Structure 1
Amino acid sequence: MSRLFSWGRTAYHFALLYPDRVSAVITLGVPFLLTGPEAFPRQFIPGGFYMLRWQARRAEKDFGRFDVKTVVKNIYILFSESELPIAGEDQEIMDLVDPLTPLPPWFSEEDLANYATLYEKSGFRTPLQVPYRAWLQDYGVSDLEVKVPALLIMGEKDYVYKFHGIAEYITSGKVKEYVPDLEITFMPEGTHFVQEQFPDQVNDLIISFLKKHI
């Protein structure tokens, strides 16, 4: 049975581990990246960077100071900006958001309420584990070439694009050493939530890709 995934590194790692079960990979805002303790570029990342904080299991205490709806709101505000979320020594990640900051214009109060309801039921354990804490795991894969067609949709205002070396990694074609059959589409006004900003355009790109390859 062919499968399609669209959750960043997890999608690619599944394709590496189970190539016979994957027909294509589509990711939004996250290219193929190596995993494992040695692959995480700690030397280039400030200690207050949100991924380091969440890998160190500070999120549970940080999030616990607020209701679920506020946590979801803060994450949408932070991650829809073009700057990397980095907290000071005396801050937690949630402290980076001014309580008076409005939601992004493409994310409604109804959207927020619906998401909050879902996370009240599920909690944040899985989204913290995948992908942030899972990045540190070694999956024991020796062949790092993704054999299936792949599509990366990248917002040019996505904060991920400011990770150390990411822009060059994508634009230079280095990423294609791991994913040879990769198509890349940039959306000039897109942020980390490009699929929610521009759902029609993203859907069209995905459908076109699937018609071509599946």
Structure 2
Amino acid sequence: MPAYEFALQHPGRTCGVVCLGIPFNPAPISFDAIMPEGFYILRWREPGRAEADFGRFDVRRVVRTIYVLFAGAEIPIAKEGQEIMDLADLSTPLPEWFTEEDLDAYAKLYEKSGFGYPLKMPYRSMHKLPNRLDAKFQVPVFMVMGEKDYAFKFPGFETAMRGGVMDNFMPDLKITYIPEGSHFVQEQLPEQVNDLLLGFLRDHPSAA
């Protein structure tokens, strides 16, 4: 989202935009109207809600649960009486491409930084995004999207993506779908994603 906004505000300082998994959205989405109360974005945008939920566990357990949930093909939605961290436990295996060593490294980083900024951006800042209904990107845009990304379960998401909605704002747009890719496609299939990004840069030398 920051890359899209930067490209629109500073086209003269932008050679191209590459995005992994997050499409351009010209107007803030009202998730209250389309998703149940237990939807993770609705929960995490509420000040203190995620902090209390995460605070029940150590940092490693929180990071582990996030990777288990968000690497899946289903939208994380808590039922009444549940919090998001209750949707997976230690019996649920990590994604096969995410090792215990990866988890240790990530946990150490979050032990230093905490989760404050990841909650603020984007979950508690979405309502501040401006309307960009008249947006017109002046640079090439490349998007890589995993077809197993849970985002495809959002109401209207797949129709919009497959229907070419982004083309209305991006005259020079390319989207590549990776069949087995999850929401963490760049971590799951790094060599394939790197090859795609390098290919985009080769095809657009000014963006390199």
Could you say whether these structures have the same fold, taking a TM-score greater than 0.5 normalized by the shorter chain as the test?
A: yes
Q: What's the offset of the Cα at 1:21?
A: 2.1
Change (3 A) 1:156 1:42: same
Given that 1:155 and 1:192 are in contact with CA atoms closer than 8 Å, whether structure 2 keeps it comes out as yes
Given that 1:28 and 1:152 are in contact with CA atoms closer than 8 Å, whether structure 2 keeps it comes out as yes
Change (3 A) 1:138 1:199: closer
Q: Which residue of 1 aligns with 2:25?
A: 33
SS in 2 for 1:102: coil
Task: Name the CA distance, whole Å, in 1 between partners of 2:185 and 2:132.
Answer: 30
Q: Which residue of 1 aligns with 2:193?
A: 202
Tell me the amino acid that sits aligned with residue 52 of structure 2: K
The 5 Å alignment of 1:1-214 reads 9-36=1-28, 39-57=29-47, 58-139=49-130, 143-213=134-204, 214=207
SS in 1 for 2:73: coil
Given that 2:31 and 2:42 are in contact with CA atoms closer than 8 Å, whether structure 1 keeps it comes out as no
Task: Name the CA distance, whole Å, in 2 between partners of 1:196 and 1:134.
Answer: 25
- The more displaced of 152-161 and 125-134 is 125-134
Task: Name the CA distance, whole Å, in 1 between partners of 2:85 and 2:163.
Answer: 35
Change (3 A) 1:76 1:175: same
TM-score normalized with structure 2 length? 0.93
Q: Aligned Cα RMSD in Å?
A: 1.5
Task: Name the CA distance, whole Å, in 2 between partners of 1:84 and 1:107.
Answer: 19
Q: What's the offset of the Cα at 1:143?
A: 4.0
**Percent of aligned pairs with the same residue?**
52
Tell me the amino acid that sits aligned with residue 13 of structure 2: R
Given that 1:16 and 1:146 are in contact with CA atoms closer than 8 Å, whether structure 2 keeps it comes out as yes
Tell me the amino acid that sits aligned with residue 166 of structure 2: V
Matched pairs, number: 204
Tell me the amino acid that sits aligned with residue 76 of structure 1: Y
Q: What's the offset of the Cα at 1:83?
A: 0.3
Given that 1:63 and 1:71 are in contact with CA atoms closer than 8 Å, whether structure 2 keeps it comes out as yes
SS in 2 for 1:23: coil
Change (3 A) 1:43 1:99: same
Task: Name the CA distance, whole Å, in 1 between partners of 2:9 and 2:131.
Answer: 9
Change (3 A) 1:143 1:20: farther
Task: Name the CA distance, whole Å, in 1 between partners of 2:13 and 2:55.
Answer: 39
TM-score normalized with structure 1 length? 0.90
Q: What's the offset of the Cα at 1:138?
A: 3.5
Change (3 A) 1:21 1:200: same
- Residue ranges of structure 2 left out of the alignment (5+ in a row): none
